Amino acid sequence: MKIAIVFGTRPEIIKLAPLYLKAKEMGIDTQFICTGQHREMVDMMKGIFGIDADYDMDVMVQNQTPNMVAAKVIFQFESYAKTQAFDYVLVQGDTTTAMATAIAAFNMGLKIGHVEAGLRSGSLRDPFPEEMNRRVIDQVSDLLFAPTERAVKQLISEGFEMERIRLTGNTVIDAQKYVMEHFDLAKIRTSIVDHEDYFLVTLHRRENIGNRMSNILRAMRRFAEREKIKIVFPVHKNPKVRNIVYDELGDCRFSELIEPVDYVTLTALLEGARFVATDSGGIQEEAPTFKKFVVVCRETTERPELIENGFGVLAGTSEDSVFENLCKALDTQMPDKPNPFGDGRASERILESLLSAVK
């Protein structure tokens, strides 16, 4: 069996690196293909897992649009795949890289596996364009690797055949397990933050840029100043995000605005935080491992298992709502439950499914 694993952004490499490592361990002929959609983030990540791309499309240019990325990925993936003989093409999640690769593979008659299938926010434009991307990928995929029972039920409710669906868990928990086994997180954390009274913040989503992000940051400032608790915030490289963040928090004595950190360092900061406030999808999945409450600063979430299991709250994006939920986060008792998103064996289950499918 020969498979292609395609990635282009930081979240993708976090969630696909464990799959690639497990495939190599199992002796599966695997090509790790990079689109370069987020060049700086991808380059930051490759060293952690000790792997590199077998082929790099290098599509990144400044101020590119989703359409520009999609067009380049479709063309370059097709050109490369013609020289190979892939039994399966694996994509992950909801990025433009994943959607464009899936479309290209589908048009070439190649079989597709969607890692993290079946997540839905219920709003086609929130998150944008990720919700659309994920739905399109599910439609053209031959195997749907659903991370949770809820995702399985969602796919069935939409009419997907049971024989296409596999319940696997989320590979991000595999990545967490790898990092916890290979790095001294406490030592890494204290090299960045020399105290324990802080909450971790990440914000970057396209649909939040503008008034929503300003509202969220004002709420965080009010909360930090009232409770005398630090904001530790690795600020995304997007200039639009950085401008808003520094306008709202640049002169706040309770904010520690730092440059983007790699996955290991972010995991270390998450492990030591009082709680986390974020619009990220990945952190919603990772925080329950460390029993950290998540204030989700979004209008929707495609990961409702977080809220249903008591690990977080959907705070919205208004200043008052975010502020109120930040206050609640300090006093919330975490449930005595395992992480609802996985047990660290998702990669193994995915690859076993592929081996069975190509027999």
Active site (catalytic) residues: 204
d(CA 36, CA 350): 24
d(CA 242, CA 237): 7
Cα four-point dihedral sign 356, 173, 8, 317? positive
Strand partners, 7: 34
Q: In a 10 Å sphere around its CB, with 0-12 CB exposed, 13-18 middle and 19+ buried, how is residue 69 labelled? A: buried
Instruction: Pick the closest to residue 276 from 236, 243, 232 (CA basis).
Output: 232
Q: In a 10 Å sphere around its CB, with 0-12 CB exposed, 13-18 middle and 19+ buried, how is residue 210 labelled? A: exposed
- The structure tokens 């890494």 sit at 188
The encoded tokens of residue 277 equal 């406030």
Cα four-point dihedral sign 223, 11, 126, 59? positive
Which run of H or of E encompasses 90? strand 88-92
- The structure tokens 């995304």 sit at 236
**Cβ neighbours for 310, distance < 8 A, ≥ 6 positions apart:** 334, 335, 337
The encoded tokens of residue 257 equal 């605005």
d(CA 56, CA 61): 14
